[in-house]
A and B are shown apart, each in its own frame.
Chain A
């Protein structure tokens, strides 16, 4: 562990490029699902715009990053632009679902990445909200009469409230005994 040092900001352009490459691969992969639909092949060959646009975004982001742009701004702009590109020509239901998926993955990232235990709870709330959007979108577009989706959202709200109360109480109890809420320090059960 002697070699490990703390630096302010690592050289992460390679990392970022890899990320964009993976994102582009993801867009390509998303076509894999289309391939099995009847008009899938024509769609891939006629609608190239989102693939090329995402690739262009990746390139632009990489260039701006290597010139020295602010990381948060680039990430935000890229996420937003790719979200708009991916949803603009979709039906309304699919837009809501894509937004929910994006929010869910952001919550997932926060949950895994955060070191503060309260921020983990906060990310879980984000994920639950994404699920709620999914349920309400389906109840609006698929089942607007019986509204079963909205019913389930009521239960999700209840469970989320209970979860937040108990989770925060656990965090407070841990803080009282360990004087920290850093997730990396809770290693009592690690072997």
Chain B
């Protein structure tokens, strides 16, 4: 964990492999659970686990700063927002129904085609994985470097951000500001109309109260 402990531990034979397989196994299982869980809010919580294991993989790649940023931004910030949005848009906390349209009257071959059509997204994703994997296998001659990542990587990153990459850095800050304002505007939305509605409701309630009082 410490700066003295991690590199020699990782350079020991097999340790990185074992850590990699444990983390990826967890990560893949949790990612499948995120996609497959019928309760959307629960899948939002499971997403935290996926991000946590991915941050572990960042640690394996000796990107300490980004592993922590991953936990702070993804696992807490974004997931929390997602979960709250889910709770707001799914007030009755119901499960998603597995609706499958299945035509009984088709001939067998047409049935197969229909089922392929239903699962088109599965084929698309499998094909995308296959394409990526074959591209990786075919392109396997990158100029690998034997150097270790410098221990003060944070300093390198910080210097690059304010020298070579200062314009993208500034633009990202503008983007964040714009996104902040845009999100507030969008989420606030039609507050005026809703206030009018509330006023109308309150007026109606007052009228009813008056009527009741008059009746008495």
Tell yes or no: B202 within 8 A of A by CB: no
> In this complex, what residue of A is CB-closest to B168?
A155
Q: Do A181 and B57 form a contact, CB below 8 Å, given A10-B102, A108-B125, A145-B150?
A: no
Within the complex, which residue of A14, A83, A169 is in contact with B182, where a contact is CB–CB below 8 Å?
A: A169
Cross-chain contact A168 with B82 (CB below 8 angstroms): yes
Interface size, B (range): 35 or more
Residue from the set B74, B148, B168 with the largest chain A CB neighbour count within 10 Å: B74
Tell yes or no: B126 within 8 A of A by CB: yes
Cross-chain contact A105 with B40 (CB below 8 angstroms): no
> In this complex, what residue of A is CB-closest to B122?
A109
Tell yes or no: A93 within 8 A of B by CB: yes
Closest chain A CB from B137 CB (angstroms): 5
Closest chain A CB from B44 CB (angstroms): 7
Main secondary structure of the interface of A (DSSP, over half): helix
> In this complex, what residue of B is CB-closest to A119?
B40
CA of A132 to CA of B183, assembled, Å: 24
Cross-chain contact B61 with A4 (CB below 8 angstroms): no
Q: Do A76 and B28 form a contact, CB below 8 Å, given A123-B35, A165-B180, A171-B89?
A: yes
Interface size, A (range): 35 or more
0/1 string, A116-156, CB within 8 A of B gives 1: 11110111011001001100111111111111101101110
0/1 string, B48-64, CB within 8 A of A gives 1: 00110010011001110
State which residues 79-121 of B face A: CB under 8 Å: 81-82, 85-86, 88-90, 96, 98-105, 112, 115-116, 118-121
Cross-chain contact A4 with B103 (CB below 8 angstroms): yes
Main secondary structure of the interface of B (DSSP, over half): helix
Contacts of B1 in A (CB 8 A): none
Closest chain A CB from B27 CB (angstroms): 7
Cross-chain contact B32 with A168 (CB below 8 angstroms): no
Cross-chain contact A142 with B189 (CB below 8 angstroms): no
State which residues 88-123 of A face B: CB under 8 Å: 91-99, 101-110, 112-119, 121-123
Q: Do A33 and B129 form a contact, CB below 8 Å, given A4-B102, A80-B29, A160-B78?
A: no
Q: Do A110 and B35 form a contact, CB below 8 Å, given A6-B101, A136-B63, A142-B144?
A: yes
Given contacts A30-B137, A104-B129, 20 further A-B contacts (CB under 8 A): A19-B119, A30-B133, A75-B32, A103-B28, A106-B125, A109-B124, A112-B121, A125-B82, A126-B31, A136-B63, A141-B145, A142-B143, A142-B145, A144-B145, A148-B160, A154-B161, A159-B175, A161-B179, A165-B179, A169-B184
Pick 23 A–B contacts, CB within 8 A, sort by A: A3-B103, A4-B103, A6-B100, A22-B127, A32-B138, A33-B138, A33-B139, A76-B32, A94-B137, A98-B133, A132-B58, A132-B70, A136-B61, A140-B61, A141-B142, A142-B143, A142-B144, A147-B153, A157-B74, A162-B179, A166-B183, A169-B183, A181-B90
What is B's interface to A at a CB cutoff of 8 Å?
A: 16-17, 20-21, 24-25, 27-29, 31-32, 34-36, 40, 43-44, 47, 50-51, 54, 57-58, 61-63, 65-66, 69-70, 73-74, 77-78, 81-82, 85-86, 88-90, 96, 98-105, 112, 115-116, 118-130, 132-140, 142-145, 147-150, 153, 156-157, 160-161, 165, 168, 172, 175-176, 178-180, 182-187, 189-190
What is A's interface to B at a CB cutoff of 8 Å?
A: 3-10, 12, 14-15, 18-19, 22-23, 26, 29-34, 36-37, 72, 75-76, 79-80, 83-84, 86, 91-99, 101-110, 112-119, 121-123, 125-126, 129, 132-133, 136-148, 150-151, 153-155, 157-166, 168-173, 175-176, 181
